[in-house]
């Protein structure tokens, strides 16, 4: 009976975990950690959040592995393309502001 009483329990638990991770990520900036550790910390938790959202809200955990791998590779390729553009543009902006 407990399963039929709350069919949205997985969504609420996921939402609470995502909220806690988001608050921890926001609070991490005020802890004055070394910059490299902060970046690794934030990237790791962003990946955890992406997997949780994809698995629970996009229902990828119920699909075949092939579909999950296609989504993950699409996200990876998009991230690499954005990194390529943003890195070059940020260097350009830094050069302009340094003058």
Reported as type and span, the H/E element at residue 45 is helix 35-52
For residue 96, the tally of other CB atoms under 10 A from its CB is 8
Average confidence (pLDDT) over 9-27: 94
C-alpha to C-alpha distance for 63 and 58, rounded to whole angstroms: 10
Task: Express each pLDDT in 25-64 by its tens digit.
Answer: 999 989 988 888 998 899 899 989 988 898 888 887 888 8
pLDDT, residue 27, reads 93
Residue in the structure block whose two tokens are 């938790």: 45
pLDDT, residue 1, reads 47
- What percent of the chain is predicted at pLDDT more than 70? 95
Higher per-residue pLDDT: 92 or 40: 40
């Amino acid at each position: 009976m407990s399963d039929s009483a709350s069919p949205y329990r997985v969504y609420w638990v996921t939402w609470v975990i995502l909220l806690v991770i988001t608050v921890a990520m926001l609070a991490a900036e005020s802890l004055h950690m070394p910059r490299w550790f902060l970046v690794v910390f934030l990237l790791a938790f962003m990946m955890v959040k992406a997997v949780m959202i994809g698995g629970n809200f996009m229902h990828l955990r119920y699909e075949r592995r092939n579909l999950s791998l296609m989504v993950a590779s699409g996200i990876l390729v998009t991230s690499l393309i954005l990194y390529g553009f943003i890195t070059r543009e940020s260097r350009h902006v830094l050069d302009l502001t340094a003058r």
